[in-house]
Amino acid sequence: MFKAIPVDGYGQCCCASSHVETLARYLGLEARGWSITQHSVPEVQYDNSWHTVDGSLMNYFLRSDGKIASVADIKKAVLDWHAEHPGYRGNDGKLREFAAKEGWKKGPALLASTGEKFWDLSGINMAGWHGWPSTMQEYDCKEFPFDYGGSMGYELNVQLREGERLTRNWFNRGLHVNQLEGAGDHPLAKDVAPLGMCRKLGDVAPGRIGNGTLEYDVPLAGGAFRRGALAAENLAAREEDASSPAAVHVKDPARPGVLVIDMPTSYVYLSGLVKLQPVVGPGGSIAVSFSDNHGLDWTEIARIDASGPRQLDLKASCYRRYDYRLKFSSSTFV
């Protein structure tokens, strides 16, 4: 069974091509990808010929024999029309003007034969932008084959430690992957109106981008933290030493104690917060450091030399980082 799992919240034509190729190969069909003008499309072979099913723009075109056209078929139809109608090549404005009021039906017969399934009277698809004008530019191309790297036989590997919680929400808290670039509120965070096709295809989600939360209350007092840590050195838990005023403390005061906690997630971090209740003895200190390359390098976030509750903002360190984990049930890659 093939599953497409949204991780970053985005998927473009290359991703959709990968999905179509992977599904076709799972069914035992030969498949390949093509890079055309500012677009990526897949082809599937059956009935001794190639056929293009665009999973991104959600269209296909039928030849006169009723079979789905290939990239070569569509390209020929587009180039032949441009040869007979000079002045439109690469001119998006003129193509949209021509397409208006069902003018697109006067374009290549191959596109007109199936266009009504996907385009409105102006030749625009349900998403509100791509359509006939785009197709007339995308297939006016010097195409080259490209495999979009699909894979089969995997599932998302969500493993939670004692004290760890993963909450996945449909609603949005104003966070998205471009927020630090000054993009403001993402238009699809709370509204799917720009993706009209989603509603028509049964999408009832309150928004397109959901903000979830991964939380880990590290179980210190009983010593279970060791099972969820990458490293735990020179540390003793309260249940192991009842005299300790803290849930966990340094066992040998002459040596530093080390606790390394990873926070793996297949979803992109858009913020991060560490809440601490440190107990620091006279002359002691606790260093809190962050690594984004699996512990090869560390950056000190804070050095705590007094007892009391603390909160450390990790957003600047963890923003747009993630640790994508898969559980493979098959080693078949395509």
User: How many other C-beta atoms lie within 10 A of the C-beta of residue 101?
Assistant: 11
Question: What per-residue confidence (pLDDT) applies to 1?
Answer: 35
Residues 234 and 196: their CA atoms lie apart, in Å, by 58
Phi and psi angles of residue 288, each rounded to the nearest 5 degrees, phi first? -110, 115
What are 98's two structure tokens? 């021509």
Place of tokens 């894979």: 151
Alpha-carbon distance 144 to 36, whole Å? 7
Q: Supply the pLDDT for residue 183.
A: 62
* Residue 164 · residue 214 · CB < 8 Å: yes
Q: Are 16 and 27 in contact (CB under 8 A)?
A: no
pLDDT tens per residue across all 334 residues of the chain: 344 554 444 578 998 898 899 889 989 999 999 999 999 999 999 999 999 999 889 899 999 999 999 999 999 999 999 999 999 999 999 999 999 999 999 999 999 989 899 999 999 988 788 999 999 999 999 999 998 877 665 566 788 999 999 998 888 888 888 887 776 677 666 666 666 667 777 777 777 778 899 999 999 999 999 999 999 999 999 887 777 778 999 999 899 999 999 998 888 899 999 999 999 989 999 999 999 998 999 999 999 999 999 999 999 999 999 887 765 544 333 3
pLDDT for the residue numbered 213: 95
Residue 245, pLDDT score? 78
213 vs 129: CA distance, rounded Å: 33
Rounded CA separation 25/333 (Å):
10
Contacts of residue 168, Cβ cutoff 8 Å, sequence gap at least 6: 210, 212, 267
Q: How far is CA 79 from the centre of its chain?
A: 35
pLDDT for the residue numbered 37: 96
Query: Are the C-beta atoms of 221 and 238 separated by less than 8 Å?
Result: yes
Closest among 16, 153, 143, 27 to 75, alpha carbons compared: 143
Nearest residue to 111 (alpha-carbon basis) of 141, 73, 56: 73
Torsion of CA 244, 246, 250, 252, to 10 degrees: -10
pLDDT at 201: 73
Strand partners, 125: 119
Q: What is the dihedral of CA 199, 204, 206, 212, to 10 degrees?
A: -120
**Alpha-helix residue ranges (DSSP H) falling in 172-325:** 196-200, 315-318
pLDDT value for 4: 55
Cα 162 from chain centroid (whole Å): 27
- Residue 54's nearest CA partner among 18, 78, 84, 83 is 18
The amino acid occupying position 44 is: V
CB 226 within 8 A of CB 232: yes
The pLDDT value recorded for residue 153 is 58
Q: Are 166 and 214 in contact (CB under 8 A)?
A: yes
